[in-house]
Amino acid sequence: MRPLAAALLAAVATLSGGALSAQDAPTVYFSAIPDDDETRLTERFGKVADYLSDELGVPVEYIPVKSYAAAVTAFRNDQIQLAWFGGLSGVQARQAVPGSRAIAQGAEDEAFVTYFIAHEATGLEESETFPQEVAGLRFTFGAQTSTSGRLMPEYHIHQQTEQAPNELFPDVGFSGDHGQTLRLVASGAYELGALNYTVYEQAVEEGAPEVQTAKVVWKTPPYPDYNWTIRGDVDARWGEGFADRVQSALVDMDDPDLLASFPRSAFIPADNALYVPIEDTARELDLID
C-alpha cells in the first residue's frame, strides 16, 4: 500500500473511533509457508480466511505462495500483512519488517520435533539415540529455510556427529516441502530424510502408503516452531488494537475442522521472545545475519 493511502486510511480509522466499517476496510491479505501440497493448503487456508473475515469484520483473503522465501518476500513487500510461518521464516520476516510480531502459535509448537525417517531397505530401526549408521546414506532436507525440515535437523546432525551434512552424506538434497520428503524417502530416491512430525503423523492417520516403507528412526529434542506473525503497521491501517483482535480471533479458533487442517489442537498466544533460540541457531549455522 502506498504511504499516502495508508495515511488516509489511518485518518479515517481515527475519525471513526479507531475501527473501519467492513465496506470501507481494505482487505487483509495473509499467506503461509508452502510446507505441503498446494491444493491442501488452498483448501485449509481458504476456510481460515472466511473465519477471520467473520471474526474481524473486514475482508480477509488467502494468497498462496510458491516457496518459503516467497512468503517472507511477500510479507516484507506488504503484499501480505499476516502469515503462518515456520520458526525460521518467522524470524526472517520480523527482521525484514521492524515492529512485526509473533502473535500466536499452535499448542504443539511450544515443543515441536523433527522426525528423521529412513527407507525400510536401510534396516534402521527407531532409536532413542541418533543413529550413527546413517553415515553414507543419501539424505534429503525439506525446504532450504524450513525450521523443522532444515534448520533443526542440520543443527542436530552437527551436534550428534560433529560433521556437516555434506561431509556425512554423499548426496544431500532439498525436497521443497515435507510431503515431498516423505514421498522421496518412501520411494527410495533418498534413503534418509528429515520432516515435520505433524506431516508424518497425519500420513499415518490417513493410511498413506508412504509410511509403510519410510519409517521413523529418530526424533529431535523439542523446539519452538510455527507461528502467526503480523506486520507492525496494521493498527495504523485497520484501527487501534487490530493486531490484538487478530490474535484473539486466532486463539479463540475452536472449530475442530479448521484446527485439524493445520493440524493443531488449538492456538495459543505467542511473542517474539519465544523464537530467540531459533534465531540463535540460525546465526550459528550462518543462515541469517
Three-state secondary structure string covering 260-284: HCCCCCCEEECCHHHHHHHHHHHHH
pLDDT in tens, 142-166: 999 999 999 999 999 999 999 999 9
- In this prediction, residue 16 carries a pLDDT of 40
pTM (two decimals): 0.81
Tell me whether domains 3-109+224-284 and 113-219 share a fold.
yes
> CATH number of the domain at 3-109+224-284, please?
3.40.190.10
- In this prediction, residue 24 carries a pLDDT of 73
**Domains of the chain by residue range:** 3-109+224-284, 113-219
Fold of 113-219: D-Maltodextrin-Binding Protein; domain 2 (3.40.190)
**In whole angstroms, how far apart are CA 257 and each of 39, 171, 212, 216, 264?**
17, 39, 27, 27, 10
Task: Please report where in the chains the cell 534396516 appears, as a residue.
Answer: 123
Task: Band the pLDDT of 190: cuts 50, 70, 90.
Answer: very high
Rounded distance between C-alpha atoms, residue 259 and residue 272, angstroms: 23
pLDDT in tens, 59-103: 999 999 999 999 999 999 999 999 999 999 999 999 999 999 999
pLDDT tops 90 at residue 250:
yes
pLDDT in tens, 7-30: 334 433 433 444 445 557 899 999
pLDDT tops 60 at residue 131:
yes
pLDDT in tens, 202-240: 999 999 999 999 999 999 999 999 999 999 999 999 999
- In this prediction, residue 11 carries a pLDDT of 38
User: 65: closest CA among 181, 145, 148?
Assistant: 145
CB proximity list for 124: less than 8 A, separation 6 or greater = 118, 131, 133, 134, 215, 217
Q: What is the mean pLDDT of the chain?
A: 90
User: 91: closest CA among 79, 101, 78, 81?
Assistant: 101
Cβ distance 28 to 60 under 8 Å?
yes
pLDDT tops 90 at residue 130:
yes
Task: Band the pLDDT of 42: cuts 50, 70, 90.
Answer: confident
Rounded distance between C-alpha atoms, residue 234 and residue 240, angstroms: 8
User: 260: closest CA among 222, 221, 214, 206?
Assistant: 206
